[in-house]
Amino acid sequence: MSKRTKKKLLRQIEFNITQSTPIDTDEINELRGNRIEKRRIQVYDDLYGIRGWAGIKRIISIRREITIKGKNTTTVENAFFISSLDKPASFFQEAIRSHWAIENSLHYVKDVAFAEDASTIRTKNAPVNFSTVRTIAITLLRRHKFKNIKQAIRLIAFDIKKLYGMLA
């Protein structure tokens, strides 16, 4: 999808949600350490002007408001999604939250254990291929009950028998 198409879709979504009433809303307030996070999800069924998306049923708007205690700073972020699912706001709240938890934990592990962000592999399919191999390695180590991936790599990196045994 081109940048132009994405911008057009975003403008249409923003227009639609300002012109209609949500069919469902879900709000969550969480306190994590010194952060207070408020997330409000609103689900809309106004699909006026949104074309080229087979099966789309819902527009989802999420507003995240994060306040850092002691600093009196608040940041607000809005994000929009489209979905072919006909589900309540609470479903989308959990799905979006779960997706980012998985996404963040995987990327964090890849960067800390494998220094993926520092990789200089940049040509053709090599970056995607190496990222896939890293993901397979993480999955394999987690299957064998390693909690700390970086430590697991140090423990088994030079033990070929143990590595082959993990593949069986």
Extents of the domains making up the chain: 1-87
Please list the pLDDT of the chain residue by residue as tens digits (168 residues): 788 888 999 999 999 999 999 999 999 999 888 889 999 999 999 999 998 888 999 999 999 999 988 888 899 999 999 999 999 999 999 998 876 666 667 777 888 788 888 888 888 899 889 889 888 888 888 888 888 888 888 888 888 888 888 887
List Cβ neighbours of 26 (8 Å cut-off, separation of 6 or more): 40, 41, 88, 89, 90, 92, 93
Q: Are 45 and 21 in contact (CB under 8 A)?
A: no
Q: Are 89 and 51 in contact (CB under 8 A)?
A: no
Length of the chain in residues, anyone?
168
- CA R_g for the chain: 21
The CA distance from 168 to 163, in Å, is 9
The CA distance from 125 to 48, in Å, is 39
Tell whether the torsion through CA atoms of 28, 16, 11 and 85 is positive or negative. Answer: positive
Q: Are 64 and 39 in contact (CB under 8 A)?
A: yes
Give the 3-state secondary structure of residue 33: coil
pLDDT of res. 104: 60
Please name the fold of domain 1-87: S-adenosyl-L-methionine-dependent methyltransferases (2.20.130)
The torsion region of residue 92 among left (phi > 0), alpha (psi -120 to 50) and beta comes to alpha
